[in-house]
Amino acid sequence: MYRFLIVIEKANGNYSAYSPDLPGCVATGRTRSGVERRMHEAIEMHIQGLIEDGIKVPAPCAIAEYIAVPRKGKKEVAETA
């Protein structure tokens, strides 16, 4: 089983996602769950293509971490979930 990090971004009216470990493997969707489902399908297809082409599937190595920075001043940036 493979396990790859995906990054989901909210855009204007939809969501997009990509995997840092699989360049070119991207997906979009109207909802977060939709883009997650499509990204799962995209990763499966990407890996299958690599295998069929005789290319080694890269080892997952990307990690993600949130960094907390105190807010200063009167203007606040909108929080995202």
Of 48 and 76, more confident:
48
Q: What share of the chain is helix, strand, coil (3-state, %, to 5)?
A: 25, 15, 60
Residues 56-80 have a mean pLDDT of 85
The pLDDT score that the predictor gives to residue 77 is 60
Answer for the pair 35, 27: CB distance below 8 angstroms, yes or no: yes
Single pTM value for the model: 0.81
Question: Which amino acid, one-letter code, is at 7?
Answer: V
Residues 23-52 have a mean pLDDT of 97
Q: From 3.40.50.620, 3.30.160.250, 3.10.129.10, 3.20.20.450, which CATH number describes the 1-81 domain?
A: 3.30.160.250
- Dump pLDDT digits (tens) for 13-27: 999 999 999 999 999
